[in-house]
Amino acid sequence: MSDQQPATDLGPDRAAGSGLDHGLDLSLAPTPPMGWNNWNTTNDRPEFNEEMVLATADFFVSSGLRDAGYVYINLDDCWALPERDRHGDLVPDPVRFPHGIAAVADYVHSKGLKFGIYTSAGSHTCSPVGFPGALDHEEQDALLFASYGVDYLKYDNCHNEGRDAVQRYTRMRDALLATGRPIVYSICEWGQNSPWTWARGVGHLWRTTGDIEDTWASMLAIAKQNLALAEYAGPGHWNDPDMLEVGNGGMNDVEYRSHFSLWAVMAAPLLIGSDLRTVTPQTMEILLNTEVIALDQDPLGVQGAPVRSEGGLHVLAKPLADGGRGVALFNETDQAARIVTTAAEVGLPAADGYQVRDLWAHETQKCGGTVEAEVPAHGTAVYRVTAAE
Ligand code: GLA
């Protein structure tokens, strides 16, 4: 909990992640948002287009991703033209989106999914092409997004003219609220202004770090930064360590399983960042691991935190709604290692025995209180541990 949000300010609704906080409806994100965003796979390349987005929506349904909880189909930068129209409105790029954005949103909605869009709290978005940002156009752009049927806005930080971040992000919150449309609001200022200290009640989630890259080193550095911020997250107000790279090819599957496991233990948004038309069955097995997803989406909404970290071997624990603990044994080193913890260390009450569910092997074992595994280099073992009845 941040210094600026003392516990005494929390009404019961707010603490449970429902109700309003400064007008922001926390119940729009009672658990971390799940879905897809094109950026990590396409960047600004031409394959980001209507065809890709519609195919992704179709695939969400046919592959079981939707049923596993992935809901948002989100467009990132480069969906618009470099100039506003004569009314000052943003214009969808007619090459990428020949039928406009509302038609894409309608299609996404027709599949039982939700639709997200992107702009920047600056004069321009981050792409070097220089698409228009929403700074000083907040109300007009929010109304346009609402008219498209947008359910989620990612609001970036490029070309912000050095203006105050709290004011910029709050003005867009108010503009979104004024549309009357429920819109999940994702603040993307890269952790530059410590948003965990002020963004609760401004947005539903906030990036805590710079951009992730599809490398082990980048994923690891971001995970470590975000792990330190566990106390600031909760229902309706999540830390966002950036979108998933799972399936993009820069890490091996052991590393991608670690990436996915760490994001789940951290109650991070799970926004798939790969091209689902070309991913491997191994990638789908990771993304569709419903037991790891359940850890991320646990209704208690507590971000897991390290209980011990020594020499690159980490024990992380996440309190769960049923009184159990999510436990990750994470080996960041280049050699396999044995990692051992106990029920007491991860915060479980004393009991005669414990059930230990391995969320990657999908097996349950009983133990007397010790949880241990031989964890491969860069690997993570993840368990759900509960006191036996
Ligand atoms: C910034 C954001 C990224 C992505 C790009 C788009 O770098 O942090 O997530 O949205 O802009 O240009």
Q: Is the CB of 155 under 6 A from ligand 1?
A: no
**In 363-381, which positions are buried (b, 16+ CB within 10 angstroms) versus exposed (e)?**
eeeebebebebebbebbbb
* Triad 368, 329, 311: Cα angle to 5°: 115
User: Which is catalytic among the residues 151, 156, 214, 298?
Assistant: 156
Q: Whose CA is nearest to atom 8 of ligand 1?
A: 211
Dist. CA 252–CA 249, nearest whole Å: 7
Please state the φ and ψ torsions of residue 384, each to the nearest 5 degrees.
-115, 115
- Average pLDDT of the chain? 95
For residue 17, the model assigns a pLDDT of 52
Bridge-partner residues for 323, per DSSP? none
User: Which is catalytic among the residues 13, 58, 89, 211?
Assistant: 211
Q: Could you read off the pLDDT of 259-283 as tens digits, one per residue? A: 999 999 999 999 999 999 999 999 9
Report residue 249's pLDDT band, with 50, 70 and 90 as the boundaries.
very high
Q: Is the CB of 240 under 6 A from ligand 1?
A: no
* 5 SS3 class: coil
Dist. CA 143–CA 93, nearest whole Å: 19
Q: From residue 354, how far is each of 171, 273, 324 by CA, in Å?
A: 49, 36, 10
What pTM, to 2 d.p., does this model score?
A: 0.95
Q: Please say if 85 is a catalytic residue.
A: no
* Triad 46, 69, 218: Cα angle to 5°: 55
For residue 241, the model assigns a pLDDT of 99
Dist. CA 111–CA 54, nearest whole Å: 10
Q: Could you read off the pLDDT of 15-26 as tens digits, one per residue? A: 445 589 889 999
How far, in Å, from the CA of 328 to the mean position of ligand 1? 29
CB atoms within 10 A of CB 323: 11
How far, in Å, from the CA of 289 to the mean position of ligand 1? 27
Q: From residue 195, how far is each of 165, 268, 283 by CA, in Å?
A: 9, 15, 32
How far, in Å, from the CA of 158 to the mean position of ligand 1? 8
Nearest to 362 by CA among 343, 377, 381: 381
Q: Could you read off the pLDDT of 66-93 as tens digits, one per residue? A: 999 999 999 999 999 999 999 999 999 9
Q: Is the CB of 222 under 6 A from ligand 1?
A: no
**In 164-187, which positions are buried (b, 16+ CB within 10 angstroms) versus exposed (e)?**
ebeebbbbbbebbbebebebbbbb
Dist. CA 74–CA 163, nearest whole Å: 27
For residue 348, the model assigns a pLDDT of 98
pLDDT at 3 > cutoff 90: no
Q: Could you read off the pLDDT of 94-116 as tens digits, one per residue? A: 999 999 999 999 999 999 999 99
Q: Which residue has the tokens 């429920």?
A: 182
CB 88 within 8 A of CB 35: no
- Reported in sequence order, the residue ranges of 70-141 that DSSP labels E, i.e. its strands, are 72-74, 114-120
Element (H, E) at 214: none
Mutate to test the pocket of ligand 1, among 126, 153, 243, 271 (most ligand atoms within 8 A of CB): 126
Locate the ligand 1 atom nearest the alpha carbon of residue 44 and give its number: 12
Q: Please say if 211 is a catalytic residue.
A: yes
Locate the ligand 1 atom nearest the alpha carbon of residue 125 and give its number: 12
Q: Is the CB of 211 under 6 A from ligand 1?
A: yes
Q: Could you read off the pLDDT of 283-338 as tens digits, one per residue? A: 999 999 999 999 999 999 999 999 999 999 999 999 999 999 999 999 999 999 99
Please give the full DSSP string across 161-186, using - where no structure is assigned: TT--HHHHHHHHHHHHHHHTS--EEE
- Reported in sequence order, the residue ranges of 121-272 that DSSP labels E, i.e. its strands, are 152-156, 184-187, 205-207, 238-240, 270-272
pLDDT at 374 > cutoff 90: yes
Say how many CA atoms lie within 13 Å of 313 toward its Cβ.
15
- Reported in sequence order, the residue ranges of 43-182 that DSSP labels E, i.e. its strands, are 72-74, 114-120, 152-156
Q: Could you read off the pLDDT of 155-209 as tens digits, one per residue? A: 999 999 999 999 999 999 999 999 999 999 999 999 999 999 999 999 999 999 9
Nearest to 329 by CA among 257, 244, 269: 257
Q: From residue 132, how far is each of 37, 99, 171, 198 by CA, in Å?
A: 20, 20, 17, 26
Q: Whose CA is nearest to atom 1 of ligand 1?
A: 126
Q: From residue 36, how far is each of 69, 70, 246, 257, 347 by CA, in Å?
A: 11, 8, 11, 18, 34
Q: Residue type for 184, please?
A: V
Q: From residue 331, how far is each of 213, 230, 280, 314 by CA, in Å?
A: 20, 20, 25, 6
How far, in Å, from the CA of 211 to the mean position of ligand 1? 7
Q: Is the CB of 78 under 6 A from ligand 1?
A: no
Beta strand 325-331 with 313-319 is antiparallel
CA 88 to chain centre: 32
Mutate to test the pocket of ligand 1, among 41, 42, 43, 77 (most ligand atoms within 8 A of CB): 77
Tokens standing for residue 339: 């990692």
Q: Residue type for 35, please?
A: G
Q: Is the CB of 48 under 6 A from ligand 1?
A: no
